[in-house]
Amino acid sequence: MSQTSMGREIEVTLPIGYTDEEGRHYKTVVLRKMTGKEEAILADKRNQRNGGKLVTELLHSCTVRFGDMPKNGPSVIENMYSADRNFLLLKLRNITFGSELSARYTCSSCDEIIHVTEDLDELPVRTLGEGESADDIMVELDDGYVDKDGNVHRALSLRLPTGADEAAVAPQMRQNASLGKNALLSRCLKSLGDVPRHRLEALGPKILSELTITDRRKIDRALNQAAPGVDLIREIMCPSCGATFKSSLDMTNFLSQE
Ligand SMILES: [Zn+2]
């Protein structure tokens, strides 16, 4: 990471990177601090209804350079992997407001409210390793999917979600997180046993809703383990009762100065 233009800009290397239609791979992004222009993007009601779109607008607006790509429209940012987008969002927050984030957690044992000052620079970032793919995550299901002829399909492959996926499923997510997740995973589903491609596309979310909870957890774990990017799972110790528990990073104050 390096700072340029008197600390207003920063160059970062993406955990995964973006591959264009010609197969060229881009990994470095120069971001600039948020300004009043981005404050307006954040305050726009249309953006508040769709988190995926909001992140696309925000990152597009603050991206000074993306590798040696000519300045592009928002579609490049939209088609980036969510892991890279979240990483950029974190860096954007860091250069704009600093790396300290005040967070609040509720103890899972005694319900005590715990105030923590998180240091966003300390969050672990996993980079996609040599020979690893964000595009080919394999899961062997325990129970599998039973098709209408009674055949069981267990070998599932999927890719990591992108910003376009997030934006597409935002309405379902808002209504019902579980149904939203089915819609998201079905967009990322690449193959399932011998189920023909057109059946997968036609059935999509229905297949995922028919999987057992055991299998659904297995998919979650595979995605989390494979997923490069910022690790947002925090281990919190309760000062009141001494219990430790895991929680997702509290992002309530993420895009504001506290
Ligand atoms: Zn406690």
Is the pLDDT score of 65 beyond 90? yes
CA of 199 relative to ligand 1 center, distance in Å: 49
Is the pLDDT score of 136 beyond 90? no
Neighbours of ion ligand 1 (CB under 5 A): 107, 109-110, 112, 238, 240-241, 243
Per-residue pLDDT at 45: 85
pLDDT per position as a tens digit, 8-63: 899 999 999 999 888 899 999 999 999 999 989 988 888 777 888 889 999 999 99
Is the pLDDT score of 160 beyond 80? yes
Q: How confident is the model at residue 132 (pLDDT cuts 50, 70, 90)?
A: confident
pLDDT per position as a tens digit, 203-225: 888 999 999 999 999 998 888 77
Is the pLDDT score of 257 beyond 70? no
CA of 124 relative to ligand 1 center, distance in Å: 25
CA of 37 relative to ligand 1 center, distance in Å: 42
CA of 240 relative to ligand 1 center, distance in Å: 5
Q: How confident is the model at residue 233 (pLDDT cuts 50, 70, 90)?
A: confident
Residue 106 backbone zone (phi > 0: left; psi -120 to 50: alpha; other: beta): beta
Compute CA distances 21 → 12, 18, 46, whole Å: 23, 10, 30
CB count within 10 Å of CB 221 equals 11
CA of 253 relative to ligand 1 center, distance in Å: 23
Residue 67 backbone zone (phi > 0: left; psi -120 to 50: alpha; other: beta): left
